[in-house]
Amino acid sequence: MRFNRYILPCLLILALGASAGIAQSITKALQLSQDASGAFGVDTTNNVYFPGHINTTGAAGPAPTASSGATTPTISGNDASGLVTMNAAATTATVTFGRAYVSVPRCLVVFNANATTTISYVPATTSIAITASGAVGVNNKAYYWCSADS
């Protein structure tokens, strides 16, 4: 009978210890499936493969705005990607993000202008300044894509 007196406390201690060992402290995660036909794939080195389009949405925050010197360019898109139409032969536009990035994003800007036009751009955590030089026509379009580590 003495043996039975120790079994219940030992089993209780083992049960509590096992449940504590199983508990997870993950605050944000994505559960991945082994199913290769899913929406995207992740290999053993954490490379991600997208079988379709990569769409970005602006649902997470306010829309970006665009400004220039004398004219106001039009903008469509969100903080990750968009289209800025520079009106009245404007050569500069500043896209102010709807929400600031934590670190300066890496951006790619493509400008549909003459072959003599060169573009430069300077990203910051709150905006991206786009400048075109050379022969610039009316309604030139600048396409941007930005991403950051955080």
pLDDT tens profile 42-96: 777 777 777 777 777 665 678 898 888 767 788 999 999 999 987 766 678 899 9
Q: Could you tell me which residue, 40 or 129, shows the higher pLDDT?
A: 129
Closest-CA residue to 119 (of 109, 127, 107): 109
pLDDT of residue 26: 46
For the ranges 4-8, 17-21, 99-103, 130-134, the maximum mean pLDDT occurs at: 99-103
Angle, CA 77 vertex, CA 42 and CA 37 arms, to 5°:
25
Q: Would you say residue 28 lies in a domain?
A: no
Angle, CA 29 vertex, CA 28 and CA 31 arms, to 5°:
155
d(CA 38, CA 3): 54
d(CA 68, CA 93): 5
Tell me the C-alpha to C-alpha distance, in Å, between residue 134 and each of 47, 59, 87, 121, 128: 41, 37, 16, 15, 20
Range of the domain at 122: 65-147
Residue 108 has pLDDT above 60, yes or no: yes
CATH assignment of the domain containing 111: 2.60.40
Number of structural domains found in the chain: 1
| pLDDT category of residue 114 using cuts at 50, 70 and 90 | low
Q: Would you say residue 57 lies in a domain?
A: no
Q: What is the pTM of this model?
A: 0.65
d(CA 89, CA 138): 4
Cα first-last separation, the chain:
62
Q: Would you say residue 74 lies in a domain?
A: yes
| pLDDT category of residue 19 using cuts at 50, 70 and 90 | low
Q: Would you say residue 91 lies in a domain?
A: yes
Closest-CA residue to 128 (of 113, 114, 109): 109
Instruction: State the average pLDDT over residues 128-135.
Output: 81
d(CA 77, CA 109): 14
Contact assessment for residue 81 and residue 104, using Cβ atoms and an 8 Å cutoff: no
Q: Would you say residue 30 lies in a domain?
A: no
14-28, 54-68, 96-110, 117-131: which has the minimum mean pLDDT? 14-28
Closest-CA residue to 48 (of 60, 57, 40, 56): 40
| pLDDT category of residue 125 using cuts at 50, 70 and 90 | very high
